[in-house]
Structure 1
Amino acid sequence: MKTHVRALVVGGGAVGCSIAYHLAKAGWDTMLLERDELTAGSTWHAAGLLPLFNMSYATTHIHKYSVDFYKTLEAETGLNPGFAVVGNLRMAQTQERMDEYMLYSSVAETAGVYHEFLTPKEIKERWPLVRTDDLKGALFHPQDGYINPADVTQAMAKGARMHGATIERKWQVDSYEWTGSEWRVTATKMVEKGGNLVPGDEKVVITAEHVVTATGNHAQRTARLLGIKIPAIPVEHQYIVTEPDPALVEWRKAGNPEHPVLRDADAKWYVREERGGWILGPYERGAPARFLYDVPESFRADLFPLDLERIEEEYMSMIHRIPSSEHVGLKDDFNGPICYTPDGNPLVGPAPGLRNMWLAEGFSFGITAAGGTGYYLAQMMTEGEAEIDMASLDPKRYGSWMTTEYAARKNEECYEHVYILHHPDEEREACRPLRTAPNYDRQKALGAQFGQVNGWERPNYYGPKDAPEDYDHYARSFRRAKWWPFAVEEAKAIRETAGLIDATAFTKHVVRGPGATAFLDWFTCNALPKIGRINLTYALTDAGTVRTEYTIVRWGENDYYLVSAGAWTAYDADYLRKRAEDFMANGGAYVEIHDVTSQYGVFAIAGPNSRAILNEIVKDADPATVLSNKRFPWLSARRIELGMCPVNAIRVAYTGELGWELHHPIEMSRYLWDLLLPAGEKHGMKLVGARAQNWLRQEKSYRAFGTELGRDATPLEAGLDRFVDLKKDFIGKQAMLDTGIRAKCVTVLIDGPDDADPWGKEAILHDGEMVGRLTSGGWSVAFGKQIGMGYVRPDLAEVGQKLKVRMLRQEWDAEVVEDSPYDPKNERIRVDG
């Protein structure tokens, strides 16, 4: 057995074997350890479905790679993975479900996933056993289907060995120790005892430059060993296998093809053929989370008791959809653990706070995702970044505030939501409210309808004051929802009078110390601001793409305050600290970094009347001038007093109007709120939520991290040349220059439908060819039409270029407009008074 490797993979399910395969294929000396037998975890009882359908751009790429990759394994390894390419028919009982499929169609088109739409008549003609009289239609993927989980795992394992990897079974990892340059991993040989698998006496220490954990149901044990949090907890998933259905048997005897995997999303189940019968897999309410802290040693390739009462509704709906199944008996049943995460996406990427430790945990669709995860994670490890932006799957999207109880309850909710409509404006209710700014109750009383960002409750819009508790749930749609008119009025208020936004969820860091200036100068691509000023800047990856966007406030020679996106607190903190460690390890002076997100509340006030509102409450020897351009110019920061509240005020507005961000001690938030509201009422101020703000920032072409900005585009491709100082050295500079311009970020105005706006998932076309995709979308109150931002081929990025955007399966006219089409000279932001 090897005792030193470049990469050690822990976990021998489908995901772990794929990672070992792709790392070995990339030329890395790789070993995989499995505590039992390969496939002994959730892999063995998985149904093996390979659905291409996914609303996430990154996950769609992962699934597509898997489907394509599995079709090549037999030729490479000689092992048949059991891939039945029967297709996947996703049926819709309602128009809203068809709207969901049309939005998904946009994601699929941009990722190159082939699909078709079928009418009920076409479904019935192809598969007469399926009842279609109450269907609106269906989405059909002819290129996917299902696979044998054990066979595909063994094929990947064999491929890994063929590329030089070593696979060792019956070895359990008991400890991880980072030495400063490599990992010391202690493993114990597992032995059979009374039908259980227990630790034996034999131990080994393996040193590895990199470690990847793909431990599935054992993720909580892995988290304890590493001293981190991993919100991957299994939930029970049961499926049943019927006796042969005579009608199906006759259908196949007549020479007809196998049915595709059938999904009645509105009934919350999938069905596929199995030896003349059917497999029914429901996603019902009430499925419990299991193994919150550990998997018992006695639990190996085991199952839980079936709970038929829990799936009775789904079983009856299968009979409704496939009437011939009504009198067919049950032959077998499975109820096993399947790992979930709170948002349903796996955790793939660097572990928080650790060097060369990579996570691949929390796969609710592990067979579908295994191939692509191995491919893209191997790219991240061997090349520095993947070819797609993997940030949406990063393990650090959950912060240290997350608890086991939170993960368990959210994972149960996620399981239940597999087939619930996935609105782009979806906000799930479990475990809320949890993290609340001080004015949560005040805002709720004023009609605030909240979204959740990194656990924080943040107003999305302000609806009726007397709205019922579940108002927002019924206000969602794939088209213009009930919240749309409220957001329109909020956006108009900022353009015409003033608006107040609670931005407390912003991520905030203090960076100080004798090395702070030198560190930040190397860490970011723009010139640092002078004392009392601010700058917008970007931290890049080693590959030259955008890792994080920061607003940097400079209070002193080596005293900085960094503001970044609220959804990415742990993600940003981890990168800041690791890069500061690198800086100091290479001779840089001391730098200290503090996450102060929870110490400061933030109100953003913007609009033509914002200065007048603040003048009502500002305390100064000369209050009439304290907010003037002379004393407080645009892109500067000052410490001011509003009533009795000390405020670190920043003259910047994400909406493109005259405005300030008011960063204040969070314990004074209620006091400041109660000052601002009556002052604002005199000047027509409205309370404004995140959705109107998102529309307004697009009118200014302000790029947002996680949409326009990410690890698949450089700042030059994003059109941020003015924020890149090529006279200095910074992380990723040469890689950025070497990458060139593969695509360009543009703003487009769209003559779209009367009842819908783009969501930032749509394909951009020219002469019938897809030439790019939207990354953001919405409604422009300034131009009275749809607006969007996205990436297109560089030759099509010129102002005035005519394009098309596909929405609701139709092409709509679009035109590239100048950056910041609203107030391009920033005259309204700079206005004096």
Structure 2
Amino acid sequence: MVGPRVVVVGAGVVGAALVDELSARGWDDITVVDQGPLPAPGGSSSHAPGLVFQTNPSKAMAEMARYTVDKLGTLSVDGEPCFLQVGGLEVATTPERLTELHRRHGWATSWGIDAAVVDADRCLELIPMLDRDQVLGGLHVPTDGLAKAVRAVDAQISRARSRGVKVLDRTEVLDVLVEGDRVTGVVTGQGELAADIVVCCAGIWGSKIARMVGMTLPLVPLAHQLAWTGQVAPLAGQTSEALRPILRHQEADLYYRERYDAIGVGYYGHRPMPVSVDDILGVDAADVMPSVQPFTEEDFAEAWRQTHALLPATREAKIEEGINGLFSFTTDDMPLLGPSPEVKGFWVAEAVWVTHSAGVGRAMAEWLVDGHCSSFDLHECDVNRFEAHQVAPKYVVERGCQNFVEVYDIKHPLQPMEQPRPLRASPFHVRQQELGGVFLEANGWERPQWYEANAGLVDGRDIPEPDEWAARYWSPIVAAEAQVTREAVAMFDMTALKRLEVTGPGAAAFLQRLVTGDVDKSVGSVTYCLLLDHDGGIRSDVTVARLARDVFQVGANGALDLDWLHRHLPGDGTVQVRDITAGTCCIGVWGPRARDLVQPLTDLDLTALKYFRGARGFIGNVPVTALRLSYVGELGWELYTTADMGLKLWDTLWAAGQEHGVIAAGRGAFTSLRLEKGYRSFGTDMTYEHDPHEAGLGFAVKAAKPEFIGKQALADRQARQATKKLTCLTLDGHVLGKEPVYDGDTPVGYVTSAAYGYTVGSGIAYAWLPADLAEPGRTLHIGYFDRRIPATVAEEPLFDPKMTRLRG
């Protein structure tokens, strides 16, 4: 296979993994360049302590870690292994942390990683140095261990070299060459290298390299303390580098690993120490290595005190050496992977730690060679996922520092960022504050979860109390708001959802090629459809409203949808795509009395406006686009207007709605109502790894269309019998999402979305299950912390299956 000319900038664990994977797939013109000497060129890989804990709330991250373990476990250099599979142990010293370990055990089980929550005695069997009085229990993962990062670089670079990859170490990249909108090569201290593709794997220098093509990366290097003790008595005479599991004491922001008769102590509890990429020395100028800063003993004092408490044998030891080592942090704790939005051929694989390095190498190689990644769902990692404010320098540093502080914190799935807020507010925000809105955050938007003004609605209602975890970011008001929506009418702020405008004489043909539905219909049509990747996997679900012959409004899921549309624009200028979210706003008016509220205010005939139709008109003095859609399963409309008229729209609806019992309702009620109707949420219920038929969205695919992206791949998938299915489960109580589902004692799937259905009177969980287990009436169990909750496979939707309320 003759591939394009590829230059990979950076030969740490990520760059080494990538050139190994790319060359293994047959590409034969690859050069890897690094400013430092191999196999330890001086970046984060060169000093990384190498601890690989695979468990992660993100399925993709856990799977990439598992691949790293599997791959490095097969590699060696001169007979010395690249991975020491000593296992991993996370200990709990408080009841709260022990509860969290049960939750983490659920994640591990959901993602196929063998793990067990063990008692204190078993913890001491695994690591006898632990203080028995401190430890309440632990999470043991036998396949975790130590990655020998420098050795892994050596092994993977050597394999790539044997396939013809050119390796240029001690060679600094000075510039990336671009002609028009395409990369053409790189300039190095030893001359120019022609390239069709340049991949930035430069780690802590990544922002500097990306800047050469005008790309801003939301990445900040932060110093992290790692110290090594002298001899610890119980390890005296140990001739193997490590025999006992790597250890995490997350309650004190600490981790530990053996190194023969000494212990490495890593600490996240100190103050954040961000470093500008422009202040990081080059390899030639650094005394030791550029990724290593001087050790600040005063920042380590609490770590050493906590270490003495957990591992009493260290009280007789001393700290012999220490560093403040630089690692990359991002605004959302996820890597930065994928192509530049503006310069064709420039790609990044940044903010990747050793834990996920080989997995990222495989993911990037598949993406580059095949045009998509088949092994992992990368939507959380795509570098183009960010809103404009999320790459602001101040935001990047502030979020990166906060993520450093919270790296071992116990986080609830609904927990919003605390700072910087507020950033984005809808025009209705002042009214929502007056109603006692309790705000969470979505892509920077302040979004009400419920309204304290509705507290009186709780009286007289039978509302089940959730457990302590499910009760966080919850109120019985959520239940009352959901029930009142079904009984009367409610106003929901839908402004945070992404809105794109597609215009031009080629707009209809453009969208027809991108989406699975038929959108070349009459003006006023609204179509629910999907964006598919080239392999037939779901990239997003969207609604496409035709507002004029050459004007479409696309209700999208986020910045990745905008990026996807931009990447497929025709080159003849016949189509324009514009993000109109910031300049517009939306109120969902839904409930059996919605028409009673809205019809007297408008010139539109709302009875004639059928389900999945839209029209432009006025609500009072406010120009609106009214789309008859409902993600809560009730009669009503999404009402859009410009941001300057938003407050007037709210006030007009609110005043007229008083006689109809209108309330403002929050996201908590919305989620409950959505799941009662079985409506899917992209990124949670279905992702790139799923196809429409597995996800229960086959109705959104119009196979009779001549062509759309992913059509043939989807047909090929259909030819194979589906092995999994997104399935509705009902249960007595609440779960949170990402819990494992069991058939007997066998884990068979995992939960996606979950909520309590206050109309149907049961807990609801959607889950990916083997197709042969998705039989209505079958009893399964959900692993919720340390218990198993019975769950029954149910027919869906649970509410209004004949759609009479929506079409009324």
The answer to whether TM tops 0.5 is: yes
Deviation at 1:489, TM superposition (A): 2.1
Deviation at 1:320, TM superposition (A): 1.0
Cα distance in 2 for partners of 1:12, 1:690 equals 45
The equivalent residue for 2:586 is: 602
Matched, 1:488 2:479: yes
Alignment of 1:653-692 (within 5 A): 653-692=630-669
Using a 3 Å threshold, how does the CA distance of structure 1 residues 311 and 501 change in structure 2: closer, same or farther? farther
Deviation at 1:101, TM superposition (A): 2.2
Q: Specify the code of the residue in structure 1 equivalent to 2:802.
A: K
Matched, 1:458 2:447: yes
The equivalent residue for 2:458 is: none
Using a 3 Å threshold, how does the CA distance of structure 1 residues 92 and 486 change in structure 2: closer, same or farther? farther
Q: Specify the code of the residue in structure 2 equivalent to 1:727.
A: A
Q: Specify the code of the residue in structure 2 equivalent to 1:609.
A: R
Alpha-carbon displacement from aligned partner over 1:558-581 (angstroms, at most 9, x marks no partner):
21111112xx22x11111011113
Matched, 1:237 2:224: yes
Question: Partner of 1:827: helix, strand, or coil?
Answer: coil
The equivalent residue for 2:500 is: 509
Alpha-carbon displacement from aligned partner over 1:203-222 (angstroms, at most 9, x marks no partner):
213122x2211111112212
Deviation at 1:293, TM superposition (A): 4.9
Alignment of 1:92-107 (within 5 A): 92-107=92-107
Using a 3 Å threshold, how does the CA distance of structure 1 residues 286 and 449 change in structure 2: closer, same or farther? farther
Deviation at 1:257, TM superposition (A): 7.9
Alignment of 1:313-392 (within 5 A): 313-363=302-352, 366-386=353-373, 387-392=375-380
The equivalent residue for 1:748 is: 728
Matched, 1:546 2:538: yes
Alpha-carbon displacement from aligned partner over 1:224-273 (angstroms, at most 9, x marks no partner):
112122101101111111121224438x59x9983322211111111222
Q: Specify the code of the residue in structure 2 equivalent to 1:21.
A: D
Using a 3 Å threshold, how does the CA distance of structure 1 residues 101 and 187 change in structure 2: closer, same or farther? same
Partners of 1:758 and 1:776 within 8 A in 2: no
Cα distance in 1 for partners of 2:408, 2:55 equals 11
Partners of 2:102 and 2:117 within 8 A in 1: no
Q: Specify the code of the residue in structure 1 equivalent to 2:540.
A: T
The equivalent residue for 1:70 is: 72
The equivalent residue for 2:192 is: 204
Using a 3 Å threshold, how does the CA distance of structure 1 residues 442 and 136 change in structure 2: closer, same or farther? farther
Alpha-carbon displacement from aligned partner over 1:764-793 (angstroms, at most 9, x marks no partner):
333443333222112111222211223222
Alpha-carbon displacement from aligned partner over 1:332-381 (angstroms, at most 9, x marks no partner):
01102110101111112223233333211112xx1111111111221222
The equivalent residue for 1:269 is: 254
Alpha-carbon displacement from aligned partner over 1:97-125 (angstroms, at most 9, x marks no partner):
23322222222123211111111132234
Matched, 1:593 2:595: no
Cα distance in 2 for partners of 1:815, 1:793 equals 15
Matched, 1:719 2:708: no
Cα distance in 2 for partners of 1:486, 1:58 equals 35
Q: TM-score, normalised by structure 1?
A: 0.89
The equivalent residue for 1:826 is: 803
Deviation at 1:223, TM superposition (A): 2.5
Using a 3 Å threshold, how does the CA distance of structure 1 residues 37 and 444 change in structure 2: closer, same or farther? farther
Using a 3 Å threshold, how does the CA distance of structure 1 residues 699 and 93 change in structure 2: closer, same or farther? same
The equivalent residue for 2:9 is: 10
Matched, 1:41 2:43: yes
Q: Specify the code of the residue in structure 2 equivalent to 1:516.
A: A
Q: Specify the code of the residue in structure 2 equivalent to 1:791.
A: W
Alignment of 1:66-465 (within 5 A): 66-74=68-76, 78=78, 80-179=80-179, 183-189=183-189, 202-208=190-196, 210-249=197-236, 258-293=243-278, 295-297=280-282, 298-299=285-286, 301-302=289-290, 303-363=292-352, 366-386=353-373, 387-401=375-389, 402-463=391-452
Deviation at 1:170, TM superposition (A): 2.5
Cα distance in 1 for partners of 2:468, 2:333 equals 21
Aligned-residue Cα RMSD (Å) equals 2.5
Partners of 2:117 and 2:137 within 8 A in 1: yes
Cα distance in 2 for partners of 1:674, 1:124 equals 64
Deviation at 1:78, TM superposition (A): 4.5
The equivalent residue for 1:21 is: 20
Question: Partner of 1:672: helix, strand, or coil?
Answer: helix
Question: Partner of 1:660: helix, strand, or coil?
Answer: strand
Alpha-carbon displacement from aligned partner over 1:503-543 (angstroms, at most 9, x marks no partner):
11111111111111111111111111421121101111111
Cα distance in 1 for partners of 2:806, 2:357 equals 49
Using a 3 Å threshold, how does the CA distance of structure 1 residues 290 and 257 change in structure 2: closer, same or farther? closer
Cα distance in 2 for partners of 1:576, 1:739 equals 24
The equivalent residue for 2:553 is: 561
The equivalent residue for 1:472 is: none
Deviation at 1:319, TM superposition (A): 1.1
Cα distance in 2 for partners of 1:487, 1:94 equals 31
Q: Specify the code of the residue in structure 1 equivalent to 2:728.
A: V
Using a 3 Å threshold, how does the CA distance of structure 1 residues 477 and 668 change in structure 2: closer, same or farther? farther
Alpha-carbon displacement from aligned partner over 1:452-472 (angstroms, at most 9, x marks no partner):
222222223335899xxxxxx
Question: Partner of 2:269: helix, strand, or coil?
Answer: coil
Question: Partner of 1:678: helix, strand, or coil?
Answer: helix
Question: Partner of 2:540: helix, strand, or coil?
Answer: strand
Deviation at 1:4, TM superposition (A): 9.5
Instruction: Structure 1 unaligned segments of length 5 or more: list them.
Output: 190-201, 467-474, 621-625
Q: Specify the code of the residue in structure 2 equivalent to 1:421.
A: I
Cα distance in 1 for partners of 2:696, 2:186 equals 49
Partners of 1:719 and 1:744 within 8 A in 2: no
Q: TM-score, normalised by structure 2?
A: 0.92
Q: Specify the code of the residue in structure 2 equivalent to 1:406.
A: Y
Alpha-carbon displacement from aligned partner over 1:567-626 (angstroms, at most 9, x marks no partner):
x22x11111011113xx46xxx7111111111101111212222223246x143xxxxx4
Cα distance in 1 for partners of 2:672, 2:339 equals 33
Cα distance in 2 for partners of 1:236, 1:152 equals 23
Partners of 2:492 and 2:587 within 8 A in 1: yes
Alpha-carbon displacement from aligned partner over 1:541-560 (angstroms, at most 9, x marks no partner):
11111112111110112211
Cα distance in 2 for partners of 1:289, 1:498 equals 49
Q: Specify the code of the residue in structure 2 equivalent to 1:486.
A: I
Q: Percent identity?
A: 29
How many residue pairs get aligned? The number is 784
Alpha-carbon displacement from aligned partner over 1:307-337 (angstroms, at most 9, x marks no partner):
3333322321111111221232110011021
Cα distance in 1 for partners of 2:452, 2:70 equals 46
Cα distance in 1 for partners of 2:312, 2:235 equals 11
Q: Specify the code of the residue in structure 2 equivalent to 1:368.
A: T
Farther off after superposition, 257-266 or 213-222: 257-266
Using a 3 Å threshold, how does the CA distance of structure 1 residues 683 and 327 change in structure 2: closer, same or farther? farther
Cα distance in 1 for partners of 2:347, 2:467 equals 37
Question: Partner of 1:638: helix, strand, or coil?
Answer: strand
Deviation at 1:181, TM superposition (A): 9.5
Instruction: Structure 2 unaligned segments of length 5 or more: list them.
Output: 456-465
Partners of 1:73 and 1:79 within 8 A in 2: no
Alignment of 1:608-647 (within 5 A): 608-615=592-599, 618-620=601-603, 626=604, 628-630=606-608, 632-647=609-624
Deviation at 1:179, TM superposition (A): 4.8
The equivalent residue for 2:462 is: none
Question: Partner of 2:776: helix, strand, or coil?
Answer: coil
Farther off after superposition, 646-655 or 350-359: 350-359
Question: Partner of 1:717: helix, strand, or coil?
Answer: coil
Using a 3 Å threshold, how does the CA distance of structure 1 residues 5 and 775 change in structure 2: closer, same or farther? same
Q: Specify the code of the residue in structure 1 equivalent to 2:403.
A: C
Q: Specify the code of the residue in structure 2 equivalent to 1:241.
A: W
The equivalent residue for 1:193 is: none
Using a 3 Å threshold, how does the CA distance of structure 1 residues 716 and 407 change in structure 2: closer, same or farther? same
Q: Specify the code of the residue in structure 2 equivalent to 1:270.
A: Y
Using a 3 Å threshold, how does the CA distance of structure 1 residues 112 and 294 change in structure 2: closer, same or farther? same
